[in-house]
């Protein structure tokens, strides 16, 4: 492909024929003035190329796929760039649009998508976020559709009519509010922009007419050239125009610019200077394009390549004929390298998408497996629900899949989740049925409790109230919304009855509670009592305490634990007496026997007698064993330490045996 530069004849001179007039006569002019203007133009063009190349990261990222190379590949690639630049020419906010951060909307929840939507509306110009809004809307609608299906199934399974179903939530309402604001603002923006585009197009067409008019102006060439440069500057600042008018307007403009250059009939030096300037700037563009071909960031390099093509076409004029094909071929080759790398980048992206697809299919299979394995308990289903939620989260975070299978993958995922939800809802529907039956049973118990809560027949009603309390515990769960309410009713009725019963019994047993208070005081006094150095006097004091305790009498049944505390405190005091341990043991035992004798339960005395007999038998067995052991020391002297130790143990055991025999005798005496 060759550049559409001005055509020259064989000797390098330009010839221009206006479609409206015959060739004009050369105009005498001040070439030094024109020379200065050309030099200024060269400087400004150089600055323009460098400035726009540096800011190219802000240019639109056109992600059009690049087809495999064909003989016309260079033409096709350039056409793509020109089409993209035509689109950019319609929107002067293009650079700003690409400052909006790209995010993975697929991995966001509905609440996160709504929050991000609100952030975009508040942080960016409305015309820069269209792509992001469309992606957010698509993801939000897909997720809300899934939720809507779940709610609809639950509604129908609970007995609702499909025609009556309606569901929304606060997140959906907020999202709709944001979208309404977006539509109002974007419509207002496009309406205003349409007017501006039309006005800018009219301005550019007028500039073209003025350039055409310069061909018939007969005045000083310096003045004409200056007017021409002013018109070029006005063209650059005229603003965006409709994309469908872009290429035609630019081609018409360049056609008449070329005619003006030919009309000038500049001498060869000035023309060559102009050609050299354009050549130098285009070489810079080519070198930058070749640098971009080495850049690993393919999106960034393609964005800047678009800027370079725009500068090549819109800012720079022709070069000498001998260089035209060569520099365009070099520029085209650099363009092709960038496109080839970009094509490879998209191929790698496709591979990544394929891996994401594999991961998502694995997740779907796991969801299907969980859906097939039916749980039979609330805890089992709760565990499965957590597993499904984790898999759903993993699915959304797995990344994008190839576009051709995106919808089918999403549909397969929704079907797997829907199957699980149906099984879950079926279980909980049956569970609700059981819960309502349980609710009826518990309400029946509440009725019994309330019917008897004021009864005076405590002997008959108390067993009944205890029975219904046990039945309540055995009945399963009820609907959550009723649970606290019915428990409060049942508890209130039962507490009312038992509080009345206890109050009456407490009134009847008032003397027992008074006895309990006296015993509490006596026990506290015993704990702080100090022993003297006279064991007999201390024994007498302790025995008096025991007699005083007995004289107080009975305490309430549920307070009789205090007797055990008292006799434990008595034993502690006896243990501190300085007297023979065997005698002390018998004194403590006699005190214990008196406590047992006072008990209404005769089995306690029987148990004590059986325990003593067992202990006597054990001690006799131990003495026999020790005496048998002495036979092994028949040849050992009696003063041997081991022999002496055995004899000592036998003596201790016999002394202990005497004590237990005395205890047995005391117990037997209690029966008479």
pLDDT tens digits, one per residue of 420-429: 888 888 887 7
Which stretch, 17-26, 570-579, 629-638, has highest mean pLDDT? 570-579
Tally the residues of the chain: 672
Which residue has 């299919």 as its token pair? 361
What pLDDT does 480 receive?
Answer: 82
Retrieve residue 85's tokens. Answer: 């630049």
What pLDDT does 464 receive?
Answer: 92
Burial class (CB within 10 angstroms; exposed 0-12, middle 13-18, buried 19+) of 170: exposed
Helix, strand or coil, per DSSP, at residue 14: strand
Phi, psi of 8 (to 5 degrees): -125, 155
Contact yes or no for 670/593 (Cβ under 8 A): yes
Q: Say which range, 22-36, 182-196, 277-291, 372-386, has the weakest mean pLDDT.
A: 22-36
Which residue has 């440069």 as its token pair? 229
What pLDDT does 37 receive?
Answer: 44
Q: Residue 265: pLDDT above 80?
A: no
d(CA 211, CA 256) in angstroms, rounded, equals 7
Contact yes or no for 126/189 (Cβ under 8 A): yes
d(CA 198, CA 575) in angstroms, rounded, equals 114
Contact yes or no for 29/222 (Cβ under 8 A): yes
**Model pLDDT for residues 565-589, shown as the tens digit of each residue:** 888 888 888 778 776 666 667 777 7
Q: Quick one: DSSP state of residue 8? A: B
Q: Residue 38: pLDDT above 60?
A: no
Q: Quick one: DSSP state of residue 58? A: G
Q: Residue 255: pLDDT above 50?
A: yes
pLDDT above 70 covers a percentage of the chain that reads 80
Residues in CB range of 158: below 8 A, 6 or more apart: 429
What pLDDT does 219 receive?
Answer: 66
Contact yes or no for 153/425 (Cβ under 8 A): yes
What pLDDT does 13 receive?
Answer: 32
What pLDDT does 173 receive?
Answer: 93
Sign of CA dihedral 188, 190, 195, 196: positive
Q: Residue 174: pLDDT above 50?
A: yes
Q: Quick one: DSSP state of residue 455? A: -
What pLDDT does 31 receive?
Answer: 37
What 3 state SS string does 404-429 have? HHHHHHHHHHHHHHHHHHHHHHHHHH
Q: Around Cβ 241, how many Cβ atoms within 10 Å? A: 23
Report the pLDDT averaged over residues 497-513: 84
d(CA 667, CA 611) in angstroms, rounded, equals 11
Q: Residue 45: pLDDT above 70?
A: no
Alpha carbon distances (Å) from 482 to 63, 379, 487, 650 = 58, 20, 8, 74
What pLDDT does 88 receive?
Answer: 61
Residues in CB range of 66: below 8 A, 6 or more apart: 77, 80, 339, 340, 342, 343, 346
What pLDDT does 469 receive?
Answer: 93
Contact yes or no for 202/55 (Cβ under 8 A): no
Contact yes or no for 661/616 (Cβ under 8 A): yes
What pLDDT does 266 receive?
Answer: 54
What pLDDT does 50 receive?
Answer: 39
Among 53, 159, 178, 8, smallest CA distance to 110 is for 178
What pLDDT does 269 receive?
Answer: 60
The larger pLDDT score, comparing residue 131 to residue 588, is at: 131
Q: Residue 179: pLDDT above 80?
A: yes
Q: Residue 600: pLDDT above 70?
A: no
Report the pLDDT averaged over residues 207-211: 90
Contact yes or no for 231/183 (Cβ under 8 A): no
d(CA 133, CA 180) in angstroms, rounded, equals 12
Q: Around Cβ 420, how many Cβ atoms within 10 Å? A: 20
Q: Residue 165: pLDDT above 90?
A: no
List, as one string, the DSSP characters of 362-379. Answer: HHHHHHHHHHHS---SHH
What pLDDT does 447 receive?
Answer: 94
Residues in CB range of 488: below 8 A, 6 or more apart: none
What pLDDT does 27 receive?
Answer: 31
Report the pLDDT averaged over residues 409-433: 84
What pLDDT does 14 receive?
Answer: 33
d(CA 631, CA 626) in angstroms, rounded, equals 9
Report the pLDDT averaged over residues 398-420: 86
Q: Where are the domains of the chain?
A: 1-90+242-349, 99-219, 350-415, 432-508, 513-600, 601-672
Q: How would residue 36 be classed by pLDDT, with cut points 50, 70 and 90?
A: very low
Q: Say which range, 64-78, 428-442, 646-660, has the weakest mean pLDDT.
A: 64-78
Contact yes or no for 156/165 (Cβ under 8 A): yes
Retrieve residue 251's tokens. Answer: 């081609």
pLDDT above 90 covers a percentage of the chain that reads 14
Q: Say which range, 14-23, 174-183, 332-341, 352-361, has the weakest mean pLDDT.
A: 14-23
- Please give the radius of gyration of the chain, using alpha carbons only, rounded to the nearest integer: 53
What pLDDT does 539 receive?
Answer: 81
pTM here?
A: 0.43
**Model pLDDT for residues 445-479, shown as the tens digit of each residue:** 999 999 998 998 888 999 999 999 999 999 888 88
């Amino acid at each position: 492909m060759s550049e559409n530069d001005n055509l020259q004849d064989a000797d390098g001179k330009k010839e221009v024929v206006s479609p409206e007039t015959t060739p004009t006569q050369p105009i005498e002019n001040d070439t030094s003035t024109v020379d200065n203007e050309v030099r200024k133009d060269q400087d400004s063009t150089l600055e323009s190329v460098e400035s726009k190349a540096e800011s190219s990261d802000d240019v639109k990222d056109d992600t059009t796929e690049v087809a495999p190379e064909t003989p016309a590949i260079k033409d096709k690639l350039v056409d793509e760039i020109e089409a993209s630049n035509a689109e950019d020419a319609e929107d002067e906010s293009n650079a700003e649009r690409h400052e909006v951060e790209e995010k993975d909307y697929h991995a966001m929840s509905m609440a996160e998508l709504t929050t991000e939507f609100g952030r975009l509306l508040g942080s960016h110009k409305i015309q820069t976020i269209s792509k992001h809004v469309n992606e957010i809307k698509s993801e939000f609608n897909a997720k809300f559709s899934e939720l809507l299906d779940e709610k609809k199934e639950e509604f129908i399974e609970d007995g609702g009519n499909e025609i009556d179903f309606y569901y929304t939530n606060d997140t959906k309402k907020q999202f709709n509010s944001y979208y309404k604001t977006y539509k109002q603002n974007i419509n207002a923006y496009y309406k205003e922009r349409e007017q501006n585009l039309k006005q800018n197009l009219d301005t550019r067409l007028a500039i073209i007419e003025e350039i055409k008019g310069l061909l018939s102006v007969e005045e000083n060439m310096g003045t004409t050239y200056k007017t021409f440069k002013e018109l070029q500057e006005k063209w650059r600042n005229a603003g965006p125009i409709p994309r469908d008018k872009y290429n035609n307007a630019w081609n018409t403009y360049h056609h008449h610019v070329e005619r003006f250059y030919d009309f000038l009939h500049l001498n060869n030096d000035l023309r060559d200077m102009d050609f050299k300037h354009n050549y130098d700037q285009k070489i810079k563009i080519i070198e930058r394009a070749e640098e971009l071909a080495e850049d690993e960031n393919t999106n960034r390099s393609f964005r800047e390549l678009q800027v370079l093509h725009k500068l090549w076409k819109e800012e720079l004029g022709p070069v000498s004929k001998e260089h035209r094909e060569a520099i365009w071929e070099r520029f085209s080759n650099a363009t092709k390298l960038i496109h080839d790398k970009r094509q490879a980048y998209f191929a790698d992206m496709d591979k990544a998408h394929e891996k994401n697809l594999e991961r998502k299919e694995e997740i779907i299979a796991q969801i299907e497996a969980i859906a097939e394995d039916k749980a039979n308990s609330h805890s089992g289903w709760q565990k499965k629900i957590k597993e499904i939620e984790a898999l759903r989260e993993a699915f959304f975070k797995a990344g994008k899949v190839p576009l051709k299978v995106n919808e089918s993958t999403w549909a397969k995922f929704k079907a797997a989740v829907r199957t699980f939800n149906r099984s879950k809802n079926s279980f909980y529907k049956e569970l609700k049925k059981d819960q309502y039956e349980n609710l009826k049973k518990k309400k029946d118990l509440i009725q019994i409790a309330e019917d008897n809560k004021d009864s005076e027949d405590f002997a008959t009603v108390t067993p009944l109230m205890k029975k219904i309390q046990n039945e309540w515990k055995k009945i399963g769960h009820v609907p959550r919304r009723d649970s606290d309410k019915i428990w409060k009713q049942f508890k209130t009725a039962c507490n009312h009855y038992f509080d009345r019963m206890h109050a009456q019994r407490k009134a009847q047993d008032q003397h027992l509670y008074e006895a309990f208070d006296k015993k509490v005081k006596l026990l506290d006094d015993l704990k702080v009592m100090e022993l003297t150095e006279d064991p007999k006097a201390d024994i007498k004091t302790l025995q008096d305490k025991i007699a005083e305790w007995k004289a107080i009498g009975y305490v309430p049944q549920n307070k009789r634990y205090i007797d055990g505390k008292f006799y434990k405190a008595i034993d502690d005091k006896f243990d501190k007496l300085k007297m023979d341990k065997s005698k002390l043991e018998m004194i403590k035992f006699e005190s214990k026997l008196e406590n047992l004798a006072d008990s209404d339960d005769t089995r306690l005395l029987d148990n004590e007698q059986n325990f003593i007999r067992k202990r006597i038998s054990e001690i006799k067995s131990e003495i026999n064993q020790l005496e048998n052991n002495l036979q092994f020391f028949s040849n050992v002297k009696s003063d041997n330490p081991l022999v002496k130790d055995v004899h000592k143990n036998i003596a201790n055991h016999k002394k202990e045996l005497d004590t237990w025999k005395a205890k047995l005798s005391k117990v037997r005496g209690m029966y008479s």
